[in-house]
Amino acid sequence: MGADELVINMGPQHPSTHGVLRVKLKLDGERVIGSECVIGYLHRGVEKIAENRTYQQFAPYVDRMDYVAAVSSGLGYCEAVEKLLMVEAPPRARVIRTILTELQRIASHLLWLGTHALDIGALTPLFYCFREREEILKIFEKYCGARLTTHAFRIGGLQYEAYDTLEKDVERFCKDFESRIVEYETLLTQNRIWIGRTKGVGVLTAEDAIAFGVTGPVLRASGVKWDIRKAMPYAAYDQYKFEIPVGTTGDTYDRYLVRMEEMRQSRLICLQAIENIPSGPILAKVGKVLKPPPGEVYHAIEAPKGEIGYYIVSDGTVMPYRVHIRPPSFINLQAFDRMVRGHLVADVVAIIGTIDIVLGEVDR
Amino acid sequence: MMNAALQATLEFLKLYWAPLLCGVAVVAILPLVVGYIVLVERKIMADMQARLGPMRVGPHGLLQPIADAVKLLIKEDIIPENADKLVFWLAPVLSVGAGLLSLAGLAIGPAFQIAQDINIGILFVVGISALGIFGIVLGGWASNSHYSLMGALRSSAQLVSYETAAGMALVSALLFTGTLNIKSIVEAQSKEGIWFVLLAPVAFFTYLVASIAETNRAPFDLPEAESELVAGYMTEFSGFRWSLYFLAEYTNMIVVASVATTLFLGGWLRPFSGVPWLNFLDFVPPLLLSAIGAYCVLRMPKQPTRVQQLFMLAMAGLCFVVALVLAAPVVLPVIKPSLRAAVAPFYAGIHGGFWFIFKVSLYIYFFMWLRFTIPRYRFDQLMRLGWHFLIPLSIINVLLVGVALIAGAYFHLQGWGLLLVTTPAAVVALVAAFLILAVEKERDARQEQTAASDFYAG
């Protein structure tokens, strides 16, 4: 380390490291010449816990990983175990799962937008985003009683039947939400300062993104059109029409635009889905005790933050032999160093925000 | 011997008792005023963010500042182990001292000025308030923390670069008056019958931007950028020391707003003070306060507890009393025309004070509005904006205003007639501004091309 290099510790108690991320920044003046992420402050050993719980018992634990997108994590786990059991959720359950997961995507993106804007210094969008997110959480609460760690789905389908006014609630939310997105965009999209702070910041080329294994909006903003909802449809996504927004340059501004468009598309998916919810059972015949045949399975879904994958090995007992989780936040965070190098301290927080990490998921 | 000393003391007091009293009053009252500015800021923020803001302490949170002050006072006083104790102790005092001292030069009305008639008035105010930066730099350095140091560095760099632009903007306005004396500046605006904001709009704009940067307010709040530097130079400060910095920041806001009001917005003058048929505007201040009082009375039954209802009534009473004070000098001459001359000084003092505070409030409101609306600049962008845009623009503007004034003198233009020459000058300045921006953009594009090629080379 030279005499004019400054090492500062950002976090784990820094206001904008989104939880307990600790970043060691090597600075030359205000310019970042190197960085190192120190993680693990929120490690709970989720994967190890899985080995000592039955398949059903472990389901609520996955909600605690990405706690701002619990529904999506739950969907991935349930579908993975269903694949292992070789059962399929009934059509009605699949459609309701799709609706709730898309609402969760909007909620997660709203939280991202609010905190990202706050990091860059815009105080107000946070409150507007939380206002809309509140509506979504209310729908979750009505559906399953919980707002954050919902545990909304069960292996084989759903535990709860959709409540009577679910369609109406979702429809009303989607109607309001259209103009609300426009509101956020008037505050930010054309704002000179916003553009100045995000354009050309944290550029990740398509080759780099693929090499790092980055997924989700971060990958798509780099121009790679990869979305598991289209590539390997799960739940009921093959029934709906939607676009996959992609960026061109892979900078922070592109990632912002991609996520904004994703919220619009999620809204469209919800509107399509509530139009025709098939009737029928909501839970496949899976039995009370789950004993999947010995074997292994990998199942991934497109969570708001990227590909969340579950690799489950069964030894034929009621408890999984091994569960490995591929959390999108953890893998996307690996590109952080490449993205911040050469930028200023102020850009570091913008880049942490734009990767959209949740430390509960990074550390597990 | 004894007698002579007493005599001298009395003589001294006679000359200085009013300023001394005012000084004590400022030091005693200002923290309260600042507390309430913070409350108003939080309420405005809440209004813009679709929520209510502080509502618990007192009706509509009216006692929140007092609760906050008590909390800050009784907090543990922490001085970090590795800090330079003396400097750490001195820095916030320096900051707040500079802020309070500069208030002395300001004239809130024709009669209210602590340091009466200093002939370098505006220079005194600007110079002393700029000293406050020492408190920030020393505090940041003495904390012995990286975040504090970076905040302090940013702050000093920012002040140095924006002080220049602000100074140039002040010069453009001073060209119209030819004096630095604050009272004479306002009187010049009264004589011309037009405020300098109309004669030198570009200078007002430059001063507006520069003053936001100088007071470290968003979007230029980089020295204390919460999301980047935790709290910048204030990171290691807590409790009362921290609140001194806070006090200094808001005092500085009042100072820059007052300077802008004095120079550009006609100081204590009523809008169109020279136009007799608009004299009914004098009724606006008492009516406004009566309306606020009436609103308080109306809202009173809605308060949940007895104490809050009484507090609301007290607020209403206060508003009515102030309204009465404001109304007296306007209404009395109407009832009894013979009293007009006797009432005139009271009218000037009381209504002058009202309009001055009103304008300062509007200016500060604008600060707050900006803060909640737009994101924060990055450090390099801020510097570029200062050095590459504001400073050239303000220098060009000084030249243009000078030329306009010469032309005005040549054609014997006065008052509103001056607009004939200053408006073209402003338009030319605007064109220059756009030219600067265009040049800047082109250079950026060129730089990007060269930078992109070797970005990942290292």
Using the 3D structure, point to which of B269, B295, B322 is the last residue of a domain: B269
Of B51, B229, B381, the CB nearest to A127: B51
Residues of B in Cβ contact (< 8 Å) with A348: 228
Q: Which of B213, B239, B269 is a domain's end point?
A: B269
User: What average pLDDT score do residues B301-318 get?
Assistant: 82
Same domain, B243 and B309: no
Sort out which chain A residues have CB atoms less than 8 A from B444's CB and list them: none
Please tell me whether residues B82 and B112 are part of one structural domain: yes
**Cβ–Cβ under 8 Å, residues B67 and B57:** yes
The percent of chain B in helix, strand and coil, each rounded to the nearest 5, is: 80, 0, 20
B309 lies in some domain: yes
Residue A293 touches partner B, C-beta closer than 8 Å:
no
Tell whether B91 and B223 lie within a shared domain: yes
Does B148 lie in the same domain as B122? yes
Residue A137 banded pLDDT, cuts 50, 70, 90 = very high
Contacts of B229 in chain A (CB under 8 A): 345
Report pLDDT for A312: 92
* R_g (Cα) of chain B, nearest Å: 25
Residue to mutate among A22, A27, A32, A120, with most B CBs inside 10 A, is A120
Nearest C-alpha neighbor of B147 from the set B80, B79, B229? B229
Judge if B107 and B151 occupy the same domain: yes
Stronger pLDDT, A50 or B444, i.e. the higher one:
A50
Residue B33 resides in a domain: no
pLDDT for residue B227: 61
What is the average per-residue pLDDT within A47-60? 89
Please check whether residue A291 touches B, CB under 8 A.
no
Position with higher pLDDT, B425 vs B401: B401
Main-chain dihedrals φ then ψ at residue A114, nearest 5 degrees: -60, -45
Mean pLDDT of B222-234: 69
How high is the pLDDT of residue A363?
84
User: Which residue ranges form the domains of chain A, and what is each CATH number?
Assistant: 6-363 (1.10.645.10)
**Same domain (yes/no): B138, B252:** yes
A12 cis-preceded (ω within 30 degrees of 0): yes
Q: Taking the model in full, what pTM does it have?
A: 0.83
Compute the distance between CA of residue A302 and CA of residue A233 in angstroms, rounded to an integer.
Answer: 10
Residue B325 within any structural domain of the chain: yes
Distance from CA of A186 to the nearest CA of B (A): 11
Position B184 in a domain: yes
Contact A197 B45 (CB under 8 A): no
Residue A40 pLDDT greater than 50, yes or no: yes
- Reported as a single tens digit per residue, the pLDDT across B165-179 is 888 888 888 888 888
B45 — contact with chain A (CB < 8 Å)? Answer: yes
Predicted local distance difference test score (pLDDT) of residue A313: 92
Please indicate whether, in this complex, the C-beta atoms of A197 and B455 are within 8 angstroms of each other: no
Please report, rounded to a whole number, the percentage of residues in chain A having pLDDT higher than 90. 12
Q: Which residue has the higher pLDDT, A255 or B188?
A: A255
- Is residue B50 a contact partner of residue A183, using CB atoms and an 8 Å limit? no
Query: B63 in a domain, yes or no?
Result: no
Whole-number Å distance between alpha carbons of B185 and B174: 8
Do B93 and B222 lie in one domain? The reply is yes
Is there a contact between B227 and A187 if contact means CB atoms under 8 Å apart?
no
A119 CB within 8 Å of a chain B CB: yes
- A345 and chain B: CB distance < 8 Å anywhere? yes
Tell me which residue in A16, A128, A191 faces B50 most closely, judged by beta carbons.
A128
Looking at beta carbons, which residues of chain A come within 8 Å of B219? Answer: 121, 193
Residues B195-204: pLDDT tens digits?
888 888 888 8
Nearest to B384 by CA among B309, B457, B444, B315: B444
Q: Which token pair is A16?
A: 């904008």
**Cross-chain residue pair B378–A346, CB shorter than 8 Å:** yes
> Average pLDDT for residues B201-228, to the nearest whole number?
80
Looking at residue B225, its pLDDT comes to: 64
Of A122, A200, A345, the CB nearest to B374: A122
- Say how many domains are in chain B: 2
Indicate whether B209 and B134 sit together in one domain: yes
In a domain, B432, yes or no: no
**Average pLDDT of chain B to the nearest whole number:** 81
Q: Do A346 and B226 touch (CB under 8 A)?
A: no
Q: Which of A140, A87, A83, A132 is nearest to A107 (CA)?
A: A132
Does position B452 have pLDDT exceeding 50, yes or no? Answer: no
Among residues B345, B371, B397, the one where a domain terminates is B371
Residue B192 sits in the same domain as residue B304: no
CA B73 to the chain's CA centroid:
26
Return the residue of A nearest to B452 by Cα.
Answer: A200
Q: What percent of chain B has pLDDT over 90?
A: 1
Q: Do B282 and B367 have their domain in common?
A: yes
Kindly report, residue by residue over B73-131, the tens digit of the pLDDT.
Answer: 888 888 888 888 888 888 888 888 888 888 888 877 776 766 667 788 888 888 888 88
Domain of B174 in residue numbering reads as: 75-269
Q: Do both B246 and B285 map to the same domain?
A: no
Tokens coding B409? 């003198």
Same domain, B159 and B98: yes
Q: CA neighbours within 13 Å on the CB side: how many for B301?
A: 1
Q: Is the per-residue pLDDT at A279 higher than 80? A: yes
Q: Which residue of A24, A127, A185, A347 to mutate against B (max B Cβ within 10 Å)?
A: A127
Q: What is the mean pLDDT of residues B1-5?
A: 73
Token readout for A262 is: 């994703």
Classify residue B149: in a domain, yes or no.
yes
What is the crossing angle of helices B340-373 and B2-48, to 10°?
A: 50
The ipTM is 0.78
**Is B275 an interface residue toward A (CB < 8 Å)?**
no
Partner residue facing A193 (CB), from B147, B222, B377:
B377
Whether residue A205 has pLDDT greater than 50: yes
